[in-house]
C-alpha cells in the first residue's frame, strides 16, 4: 500500500503484523518483517517494484517473532539493545514453538534467526533524505521503538498500536506504554502504520491510551475482589470494547494481574 510518495506498507490480513519501507534518495529502509519468510520474500519483491535503490537497513521495532522472522534476508539490522538481547534469549524457545504448530511448520522451517547488527538505547537519526528517526519508547516491550519520518508526517508505531484489535500485553509495562503513547501525541502525524490493524492517525493513539488506562484501572479494582482465575473465567468483568482477538483479554489478565 502506498502511504505517501516515499512511504509504503503491507497491512497483514486478519490483524497479522504490518511492516513497510521508506524510499530515500540513495537507499531504502525497511521497517519490520512479516511473520513468515515467504511473506518477507514477497515484500522484497514489492520493494524492488517501487524502487531501483538498494535496501540499506532493516529496522526491528521490537523482538517479537511476527516482526523479526524475516530478518535472515537482511544484512544490516537496527534494533534497540533490549531487542537484540531478548531475541537472542528467545530464539531456542521460538524454534520449539515452530515445531509445535504443524499448520505453520512448512512455512517456518526455512527460518534462520538473525539478530540486529546495530543497536541503540535512546534514539538515532538515519539521514536518508528523508531523515528517519528511530526512537526508544518501551511499553509494549522494554525495548519497543517507533520509526518517524517528520518530512512525510508518517509514523511506524510497531506494536504500541493494535488498530481495531485487543493488544498483546504479555511483555508489557502498562504505565510506560501509556506514557509512550502520550509522548507521540506531540508529533505532527498524518498517517500511522500500526503494528497490527489498518492504517490510522492520532485518533487511534487517543483510543489506545483510553483502552490501556481502562484495562489498568479496572484490573486494579477487580483484583481487590476477584482472583486471577475468576477474572480469566469472566473477562467481561473488565467491560472492554468489542474488537478483534477477544481471546487476548484472558491472556492479558493472566500476564498483568500480578503486575498491577
pLDDT value for 2: 97
- Rounded CA-CA distance 127/125 in Å is 6
C-beta separation of 199 from 21 below 8 A: no
199 backbone φψ class: left, alpha, beta (φ>0; ψ -120 to 50): beta
Q: 174 in helix, strand or coil?
A: helix
Full-model pTM: 0.96
Kind of pairing between the strands at 191-197 and 123-127: unpaired
C-alpha dihedral, 53 to 56 to 59 to 60, nearest 10°: 110
How far is it, in rounded angstroms, from Cα 231 to Cα 229?
6
* Closest to 71 in 3D by CA, of 52, 90, 51, 53: 90
Q: Please tell me the total number of residues recorded for the chain in this structure.
A: 260
- Concatenate the DSSP letters of all residues of 64-92 into one string: -GGGTTTGGG-SSEEEEHHHHHHHHHHHH
The residues near 62 (Cβ < 8 Å, ≥ 6 apart) are: 80, 83, 140, 141, 143, 144, 145, 158, 159
Q: Are 99 and 91 in contact (CB under 8 A)?
A: no
DSSP 8-state assignment for residue 233: H
What does the pLDDT read at residue 106?
72
Give the Cα separation of 4 and 23 in Å (integer). Answer: 10
Q: Which residue ranges form the domains of the chain, and what is each CATH number?
A: 7-214 (3.60.15.10)
The predicted structure's pLDDT at residue 100: 72
Whole-number pLDDT of residue 99: 67
CA separation, residue 254 to residues 180, 197, 230, 248 (Å)? 23, 24, 11, 10
> Which segments of the chain have a pLDDT < 70?
99, 102-103, 105
Tell me the pLDDT tens digit for each residue of 159-177. 999 999 999 999 999 999 9
- Of 206, 240, 237, which Cα lies nearest the Cα of 223? 237
Amino acid at each position: 500500500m502506498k502511504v505517501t510518495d516515499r512511504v509504503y506498507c503491507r497491512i497483514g490480513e486478519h490483524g497479522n503484523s504490518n511492516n513497510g519501507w521508506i524510499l530515500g534518495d540513495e537507499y531504502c529502509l525497511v521497517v519490520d518483517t512479516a511473520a513468515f519468510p515467504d511473506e518477507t520474500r514477497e515484500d522484497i519483491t514489492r520493494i524492488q517494484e517501487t524502487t531501483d535503490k538498494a535496501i540499506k537497513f532493516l529496522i526491528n521495532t521490537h523482538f517479537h517473532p511476527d516482526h523479526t522472522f524475516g530478518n535472515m534476508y537482511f544484512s544490516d539490522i537496527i534494533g534497540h539493545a533490549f531487542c537484540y538481547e531478548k531475541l537472542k534469549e528467545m530464539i531456542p524457545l521460538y524454534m520449539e514453538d515452530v515445531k509445535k504448530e504443524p499448520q505453520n511448520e512448512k512455512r517456518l522451517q526455512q527460518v534462520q534467526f538473525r539478530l540486529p547488527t546495530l543497536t541503540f538505547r535512546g534514539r538515532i537519526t538515519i539521514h536518508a533524505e528523508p531523515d528517519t528517526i528511530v526512537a526508544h519508547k518501551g511499553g509494549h516491550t522494554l525495548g519497543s521503538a517507533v520509526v518517524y519520518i517528520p518530512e512525510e508526517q508518517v509514523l511506524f508505531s510497531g506494536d504500541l498500536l493494535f488498530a481495531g484489535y485487543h493488544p498483546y500485553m504479555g511483555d508489557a509495562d502498562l504505565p510506560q506504554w501509556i506514557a509512550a503513547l502520550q509522548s507521540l501525541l506531540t508529533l505532527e502525524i498524518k498517517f500511522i502504520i500500526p503494528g497490527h490493524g489498518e492504517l490510522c492517525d492520532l485518533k487511534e493513539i487517543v483510543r489506545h491510551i483510553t483502552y490501556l488506562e481502562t484495562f489498568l484501572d479496572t484490573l486494579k479494582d477487580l483484583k481487590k475482589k476477584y482472583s486471577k482465575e475468576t477474572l480469566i473465567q469472566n473477562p467481561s468483568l473488565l467491560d472492554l470494547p468489542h474488537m478483534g482477538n477477544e481471546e487476548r483479554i484472558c491472556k492479558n489478565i493472566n500476564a498483568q494481574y500480578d503486575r498491577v
